[in-house]
Structures are given as C-alpha cells and as structure tokens.
Structure 1
Amino acid sequence: MTHPDPIPTLTRRRARRLFRPERGAGRHGRAALADDTGAATAEYAIATMAAVAFAGLLVVIMRSDEVRGILTDLVRRALTVA
C-alpha cells in the first residue's frame, strides 16, 4: 500500500540549499547551524513562563468567593466531629 502523497526525495541541489552555510558567515557558517548552545536555557525560560501563567490563573481562581466558600466548607466538615 503506497502513501498518496510521497515525501519528495532530498536531491543534492535541495540538500545544498538547506544545509549550506550562509554567505558571509565565514568560519561560523556550518557550526552555527549545528550549535544548540542556549537551547536548554530557552526551554527553561518557556517552562518558567508557563508555570508563572498557571500560578497566576490559580491565584485568580482561589480569590473568587465561590471557591473560597467551597474550601471553607470543606475545612469545616473535616474538623467537625459528628
């Protein structure tokens, strides 16, 4: 069974165009494409921003009167001896 839209083959011309260093890049050309320095730092920054946004959302939810009432009722039921 063949796939209806086969992936085009990577020809030499297309490979050169995709993977060659930019003109004027000098000795940093190909190495700059393969260099992933700072990638982990960027990932940590994105994860930190997502955590801060989630914490902000939780603060907004916890400050609502409805949620505060639910939590207060829950604590009262837990501490009440029947």
Structure 2
Amino acid sequence: MNKVVRARLCALVSRARSARRDAGMVTSEYAMGIVAAVAFAVVLYKVVTSGQVSAELQGIVKQALDAKV
C-alpha cells in the first residue's frame, strides 16, 4: 500500500512541476493579448456609441425608469 501511495504522490509532484514550467505567458504573448483587448474595446466602444445602438440603450433605460411597480 505504501508503494502505491508513494507512486501516486510522485506522479502528482511530477505533473505539478511540468505545469509550473509552462504556466505563464512570455512578454510577446502579453503584448499580443493587450493589443487584442484594446482592439476589442475600440470595436465595442464604436458599436455602443453608434446612433442606433445608443438610441436603443436610451430607450431601454427610459422604459426601465418609467416602469410602474
């Protein structure tokens, strides 16, 4: 029984060590992630501030504020 427990523990430690080696991103991956996030934010900002979407959002907020309880 002791050998089985020891073997399982060694396997878990080995997996943890290999996962730690490849757990983070390198600088270029961070840069690409930031560029992608900024691009998505710009597109989302443009969509939300467009005339039609802005009018729809204002209508939804106005309807919610005028709701009778």
The TM-score by the shorter chain falls in which range?
0.5 to 0.7
| Moved beyond 2 Å, runs of 4+ | none
**Structure 1: where are the runs of 5+ without partners?**
1-38
Higher helix share: 2
Q: TM-score with structure 1 length normalisation?
A: 0.49
Could you tell me which residue of structure 2 aligns to residue 81 of structure 1?
Answer: 67
What percentage of residue pairs aligned between the two structures are identical? 39
1:8-54 deviation digits (Å, cap 9, x = unpaired): xxxxxxxxxxxxxxxxxxxxxxxxxxxxxxx6111110000000000
Structure 1 residue 46 and structure 2 residue 46: aligned?
no
Q: Tell me the residue number matched to 1:17.
A: none
RMSD of aligned Cα (Å) = 1.2
CA distance in 2: counterparts of 1:58 and 1:64, whole angstroms: 10
Structure 2 unpaired stretches of 5+: 1-24
* Distance of 1:75 and 1:62 partners within structure 2: 14
Output the CA distance in 2 between the equivalents of 1:71 and 1:62.
8
Larger Rg: 1
The answer to whether residue 50 in structure 2 is matched with residue 64 in structure 1 is yes
TM-score (norm 2): 0.58
